[in-house]
Structure 1
Amino acid sequence: MAITVRNNKFILKTDNTAWILRCDEGYFEHLYYGADVPDCDLDHLVNKQILNFAPYDARLGLKYIYGGRLYPYSGANAGDFRTPACDIVSQNGHRGCRFRYAGYEILPETPKDYVLPRVRAAGETLKVVLTDEQKGVDAELYFQTVEECDAVVRYTRIVNRSGGKILLDKAASLQLDFENGAFDLLYIAGAAGDEMRNLRRPVAQGKTEISSSFGITGHSSNPFFALCERSATEDAGECYGFNLLYSGNFKNEIESDSHNSVRVVTGINADGFCWSLGDGESFYTPQAVCTFSEEGIGGMSRRFHRLCKKHIIAPKYENARPVAANTWESFYFTVNEDNVCAFAEKAKEIGADTVVLDDGWFRNADAENLGDWQPVPERFPSGLGKLVNAVKQRGLQFGLWFEPEMVSKNSKLFQAHPEWVLNNGDIGSESRNQYVLDMANPAVVDYLYGVLAHYLSSYDIRYIKWDMNRYLSEVGSAFVHNQGETPHRYVLGVYDLLERITSHFDVLVEGCAGGGGRFDLGMLYYEPMIWLSDNTDPYNRTEIQFGASVAYPPCTLSYHFSKGVGTTGKNSEPFFRALAANFACFGYELDLTKLSAEELSACRAFTERRRALDKYILGGDFYRLNVDNEYYYACLQVLEDKSAALFTFLQLNAQIRYESVIVRLKGLKPDARYKIGANGQVYYGRTLEKAGLKISDLLCPHWKTEDALRIAVQGGKSGSGISFEIEEVK
């Protein structure tokens, strides 16, 4: 059993981990979370030390000091001065809550009334009820296990049974306490065009916050973070990983107090959040997921990858992604029926299976017509029907770009419904020549569903690129009475629209938010791949993609083969651009109509090669290999049965005096023999792990070109690399 309860102990087990909690003196406490252990009676771990200036339970005296205990969920203003998970204002104005244990129940699955994105097929659910009898408020804590992913799912339901109205000022999804926690904090930061940078620093006394107040998760932060033991490496050491299935304002709080205990709290950002609950009403938090690994950061990443692929993304996308050719960087706002038909002809020639008509089909400039969604008649005189049919006749699927959440000031929609724009009492701010629609208003969501449903019903459209090109400001709603609810209701509106579209139509939605501005598990629940960055320069994009891999699998990262000179100003050869794009969901983002016959032939070879590698990129276990991650990046994507793997090595810049580098492989069966695709040699998996492979010609081609054992990068110097398969010899 994954969940068992005996002798006031609550034991959650996965394949390799154990989480043990207990009920003691009427309180629900955390005892242990980490590697699996055979014992569950761990009361000896409880901290009973008397702490200076620490409040204690008046009924129990000094034997129960709040600040020394470890809790899975704490209320504010109740004697525990550490960061709380929950804060409530009662009808009489009193703030805070003290929760005591009231009972438990084991449910067969996620509650039916839970409507937020959730971990799919999580199965058996432990529900523990905590109550504050004086305030008349319950906190229902939900625990679910995903055993093969070593993951635990946590979320909370706050129930008002006070007989009056309460205000919920904070409701976190997860709290986890550690005693004597000497950790490093690993998290994701960055900026637009420079997303997914991994930062690591020691957890010191005080509070650290990783958060977003952009209305979406944002380019500069991400809900993922990890606590690693100080000596943890890519391959060894204990790591606790955390993430949130949410796409709005979030906050991760990591606090180390004066006694060196560490508390983690993650959930909706409480800044600007205030939810009204009438008597009998309740509020569900988003789901949080956590995992534990003794195999370092890499082991933690692979557990999250497996969870995302098997239990977040919809099952129908598990083994397939289209190769899309996108029109944006070809035509911008000059896109028309004729040039898209010509583009589709070339897309067919290079082996793509989908043509995506990007921005420009409904407007002539960036400041126009968002919200109206009517094709420009001068450029699409037959509407979209003739063009969709022309693309379909070439054996291709048709995709269409939308930015549903936005509106232009000069649009007919804005003129008809100015009250449908987010507004906190003034005219509001424009950003990128647009305003944000009030997705907290069901009428807005219904309108947008009507627009999207019209196109999906009228034409054979199997692919939507869903963009979102600004943050939320002046967040207020004409529909919502309590404006502290608007940011969360906005996210609920987005989820509602995505749920209706993806459940009613056979359409794949690719996410985008000015690049990676909304890359999170909440969106991946509906969108199996998300455009990771508007920076398509392969030198930068390689770094961004490896950074994203700490939390997200390559099959979720959308990246296209694009032009030769990007943000770095350095030219990149087609082979290198394709090699960088092979890491993720593959496509094309350049003017195919201007390519020569030779270039088109090369692109077709890239497409065919990429399709042959789908089994590794979509289904393989991802291992970051230990190179310097500045000049070189390398990875091994290993099939689940370890019968084969894909090796990729990229050299961004050459190091003087470094003609070659040895790369040690990971994840193969040590006693199996493997054939190296680059030179035909056969080695044991253990040999490849310990001795490695030598990658050569990093500065220039070797003089002895007939050396059959040599594995040489293609191109040499900056912007070079090599990729090949490794197959088990039976």
Structure 2
Amino acid sequence: MAGIHFLEDHRTWVLTGGSSTYALRLDEDDVPTHVHWGPKLSTEDVPELLAKPLPRWDGFNDPNEGLDELAADGGTKYWTPALQVRFADGTRALEWRYRTHEITRDHLEIHFEDRHYPLRITLHYRLKTDVLERWTELAADTDVEVVRADSATWVLPVRDDYRLSHVTGRWAAETQLHRTSAAHGETTFASRRGITGHHANPWVMVDDGTATERHGEVYGVALAWSGSWRLTVTRSSTGRLTVCGGFGQDGVTHRVGPGNPLTTPVIAGLRTRGGFGAAGRAWHAYVREHVLPHPRELRPVLYNSWEATGFDVDEKNQRTLAERAAALGAELFVVDDGWFGARTGDHAGLGDWHVNRERFPGGLEPLVAAVHGLGMKFGIWVEPEMVNPDSDLYRTHPDWVLHQLHRRRSQLRNQLVLNFARPDVRRWAHDWLDRLVGDHGVDFLKWDMNRPFSEAGWPGDADPDRLWVEHTRAVYALLDRLRHDHPRLRIEACSGGGGRIDLGMLARADQVWTSDNTDALDRLRIQHGYGQLYPARAMSAWVTDNPNFVTGRSMPLRFRFHVAMAGVLGIGGDIVHWPGEDLALARELIALYKDIRPVVQHGALYRLRPPVDDGIVAFQYVHEDRAVVFAYRQAAHFAAPERPLRLDGLASADRYIDSDAGTTHSGAVLLTRGLPLGLPTGDFASRVVRLKRIDR
């Protein structure tokens, strides 16, 4: 039976979702101890798993080590600690004592305290179908220094081997997928930058080394946090593997005391069968249904002015672009950087959020009215967390930025980071954002953040380390407040491209800017890594000009469109100078995208041929009675004959009609022999196939 149950005689809790069961118990010392995470079990089956702890092998090896639900430092526990505390008298070890628990439908709270010190710990478990969300609360009656506070420790079943899947990257090369054998010892994925980061992302998947796209058991853990973070995979010589994770980094501590509790971010876990494809679809369903603010919406086709005008923004050129974008079928027009203050480049003006009257003599109102009159929504770029030293704001409030005494203030992109942990900075940011949205009828904010933290200090504050957590929480609170006060407002999260993509930001952003690299060939790989966990419904993807500004590569317009149409379609080129045939093709493909958009944004993704080489890449979305197949030839070699593409996710007993060719296909044949692609000849060839289920 699905739900949460307490087996009082065994001091065991059983949490059962759609196809998985999770169980934990209290050991003889009241330590919360892992029992099971795996296939669905009945509550009657679970007691059979409650074997007595094994005796120590010797003075150095404990076969039960690594089973704690929140591995705490202390005693003879030497596993990677998820919780480290230091009491005022220097004591570090934690000794658990169970107090009580509460079960409210899908939510379990288990309350503990330390046996001697006034520290209280609450472990939270919340079921979302087959995803289990976990987090921890700490509270104390006297000041306690918390050296490390991860959200949870996840204990995986013992397997003969373990393989890790994760992504790495850099600016313009985010989310590159890697699958490697788990090393013995500790493997840590982390960001110390104050943001999620381009170089890694806070999730990891684990399998036994045999899982494929379609077969095998896969476990995944993902952290909902947009600041500095850490995930540690620990593999012991005894064969056990755990994953613990949370916010924070080495050298940064938290203080807990009267009136100052600490709540860690959610860390979500998911176990699936059916390989990496099933894991991805389950994560996508979870994000769409339980994370995104408006899961049922369809994201509009967007036009952004950045690549057309750069910083050279004025009312006239934006009106011209808006008229051309509306004629193509765009539904949202976004003015990018350069509309405010002395912002004629990236060297000045950031922080002075007032309309540049030389560029917009009548303010933004005439342009907003023109865009709305063209039948489009109006959006605008902002970067609230940053300031240029060459700005009125910085000259007035130099103390508002992150800084340390007697240390330089390092600039990146000529910017410094504002300290959003400060109440005065938060009030200032809310005031101008609230006016911008409310006074001008802004429908959409592109919220950017173009550099990581440095010199992250807060001189004069009694607890300067708290800024690492409170900055991110202040950003969350501001986004939440803007949404509440302006229910029609929609938001895109950006951080120099994909530097702030995570479950925490997706709970507040309707879409995310995946990468500053819009090169369609590179995007196939970036989007492949992104899609391991995050859904197309939130993946912003643009069609831009030839040659691409990052790579210098030129590709056919149809290929560029087909790659961007696999997510939330946007246009970012200088469309005023596109030739007539390109404009005509763009109108045709935008209309096609609007037809397939429900399938792409709400459908289940099947990765048919991933981008592991430079040959064919193909994937498919299935939603209700429709399927959309995307196929791309990156490079043609040796005149190799084209093979049919085996599809997935269809009903073998049904028939499907190709909406463009008019041909019908047996579902069974499409699943076994495959679909003839009929790609055009040559490199950078692509095709989109629309299939609809019909009665036999």
TM-score normalised over the length of structure 1: 0.91
Q: Pick from 572, 596, 620: which aligns with 2:579?
A: 596
1:570-609 aligned within 5 A: 570-609=553-592
**1:494 is matched with which residue: 475, 491, 502?**
475
User: What displacement does 1:194 show?
Assistant: 0.5
Question: 2:676 and 2:251 mapped to 1: Cα distance?
Answer: 55
In structure 2, what is the Cα distance between the partners aligned to 1:657 and 1:137? Answer: 70
1:255 aligns with 2:234: yes
1:552-572, Cα deviation, whole Å (9 max, x unpaired): 011111011111222443321
8 A contact 1:676–1:725 mirrored in 2: yes
The equivalent residue for 1:307 is 286
Note if contact 2:53-2:64 (Cα within 8 Å) is conserved in structure 1: no
Q: Partner of 1:5 in structure 2?
A: 6
Q: Helix, strand or coil: the match of 1:392?
A: helix
User: In the aligned structure 2, how far is the partner of 1:461 from the partner of 1:205?
Assistant: 52
Task: Report what 1:701 is aligned to.
Answer: none
Counterpart of 1:447 in structure 2 is 428
Change (3 A) 1:552 1:27: same
Matched, 1:31 2:35: yes
CA distance change for structure 1 residues 319 and 655 in 2, over 3 Å: closer, same or farther?
Answer: farther
Do 1:75 and 1:99's aligned partners in 2 also have CA atoms closer than 8 Å?
no
Which amino acid in 2 is paired with 1:170? R
Cα deviation 1:183-226 (Å, max 9, x = unaligned): 10111111111100111111131110000001001000000111
Higher mean C-alpha deviation, range 626-635 or range 588-597: 626-635
Given that 1:82 and 1:263 are in contact with CA atoms closer than 8 Å, whether structure 2 keeps it comes out as no
Are residues 221 and 45 of structure 1, via their aligned partners in 2, closer, same or farther at CA, if it must alter by over 3 Å? farther
Candidates 226, 229, 236, aligned match of 2:208:
229
Match of 1:723 among 674, 677, 688: 688
- The match for 1:699 is none
The CA distance in 2 between the partners of 1:378 and 1:90, in whole Å, is: 59
8 Å contact 1:582–1:610 — kept in the other structure? yes
1:628 to partner: Cα distance: 5.7
1:285 paired to 2:253: no
Q: Could you tell me which residue of structure 1 aligns to residue 196 of structure 2?
A: 217
- Residue of structure 1 equivalent to 2:356: 376
- Note the 1:616-655 alignment, pairs <5 A: 616-626=599-609, 629-630=612-613, 631-639=615-623, 641=624, 643-655=625-637
Query: In 2, distance between residues paired with 1:550 and 1:516?
Result: 15
Q: Does 1:387 align with 2:391?
A: no
Shift of 1:70: 1.4
Shift of 1:339: 0.8
Q: Is the 8 A contact 2:154 2:244 kept in 1?
A: yes
Distance 2:345 2:66 in 1: 60
Encode CA deviations 1:649-708: one digit per residue, 9 max, x unaligned. Answer: 11122232422133211111222222234644433323222221233xxxxxxxxxxxxx
Please state if 1:472 is matched with 2:453: yes
For 1:105, give the aligned amino acid.
E
Q: Which residue of 1 aligns with 2:314?
A: 336
Pick from 679, 686, 689: which aligns with 1:713?
A: 679
Q: Secondary structure at the match of 2:310?
A: helix
Pick the aligned partner of 2:411 from 430, 444, 458: 430
Match of 1:414 among 394, 405, 418: 394
Whole-angstrom CA distance in 2 between matches of 1:66 and 1:45: 13
* Equivalenced residues, count: 682
Aligned partners of 2:35 and 2:50 also within 8 Å: no
**Which SS does the other structure have where 1:489 is aligned?**
helix
Q: Partner of 1:197 in structure 2?
A: 176
8 A Cα contact 1:28 1:100, kept in partner = no
Gap change, CA 1:380 and 1:129, over 3 Å in 2? same
CA displacement 1:370-392 (0-9 Å, x = unmatched): 00112222221222122222222
Q: Report the counterpart of residue 18 of structure 2 in structure 1.
A: 15
After TM superposition, list the pairs within 5 Å mapping 1:28-427 onto structure 2.
Answer: 28-38=32-42, 39-43=45-49, 48-54=54-60, 67-68=64-65, 70-108=67-105, 124-147=106-129, 150-161=130-141, 164-178=142-156, 180-181=158-159, 182-279=161-258, 281-315=260-294, 317-362=295-340, 363-425=343-405, 426-427=407-408
* Partners of 2:56 and 2:63 within 8 A in 1: no
**Letter matched to residue 575 of structure 1:** R
Amino acid corresponding to residue 665 of structure 1 in structure 2: L
CA distance in 2, matches of 1:12, 1:480: 43
1:112 maps to what in 2?
Answer: none
Does 1:528 pair with 2:531? no
User: Which is further off, 563-572 or 13-22?
Assistant: 563-572
Q: Tell me, in whole angstroms, the C-alpha distance in 2 between the residues paired with 1:620 and 1:293.
A: 18
Amino acid in the other structure paired with 1:33: W
Secondary structure, counterpart of 2:233 in structure 1: strand
Q: SS in structure 2 opposite 1:446?
A: helix
Aligned-partner residue type, residue 291 of structure 2: I
Quote the offset at 1:394 in angstroms. 2.1
TM-score (norm. length: structure 2) = 0.95
Instruction: Quote the RMSD (CA, aligned, Å).
Output: 1.7
- The residue type paired with residue 29 of structure 1 is T
Amino acid at match of 1:596: P
Which sections of structure 1, spanning at least 5 residues, go unmatched? 56-64, 109-123, 696-711
Distance 1:165 1:543 in 2: 48
State the SS of the aligned residue for 1:663.
coil
Letter in 2 for 1:503: H
Aligned to 1:516: 498
Partner AA of 1:70 in structure 2? L
Inter-partner Cα distance in structure 2 for 1:465 and 1:75:
41
Question: Does the aligned pair in 1 maintain the 2:139–2:257 contact within 8 Å?
Answer: no
* Residue identity opposite 1:125 in structure 2: H
Q: 1:421 deviation in Å?
A: 0.5
Query: Cα gap change, 1:11/1:67 in structure 2, threshold over 3 Å: closer, same or farther?
Result: closer
The answer to whether the Cα contact below 8 Å between 1:272 and 1:484 also exists between their aligned partners in 2 is no
- Deviation per residue, 1:291-339 (Å, 9 max, x gap): 0011111111111100100110013x52221211111111112111111
Counterparts of 2:682 and 2:610, CA distance in 1: 16
Tell me how far 1:441 sits from its aligned partner.
Answer: 0.6
Q: Quickly say closer, same or farther: Cα 1:27–1:277, change in 2 above 3 A.
A: closer
The 3 A distance-change label for structure 1 pair 256 and 691 is same
Is 1:542–1:580's contact at 8 Å kept on the other side of the alignment? yes
1:687 matched to which residue of 2? 669
Q: 1:575 to 1:46 in 2, by over 3 A?
A: farther
Contact kept in structure 1, 2:525 and 2:611, CA below 8 Å: no
What is the CA–CA distance in structure 2 between the aligned matches of 1:47 and 1:299, rounded to whole Å?
35
Q: Give the C-alpha shift of residue 84 in structure 1.
A: 1.1
CA positional deviation for 1:77: 2.4
State the AA in 2 paired with 1:28: P
Equivalent-residue separation in structure 2 for 1:74 and 1:236 (angstroms)? 32
Instruction: Find the residue that maps to 1:346 and give its secondary structure.
Output: helix
Shift of 1:2: 0.9
Contact 1:324 1:588 in 2 (8 A): yes
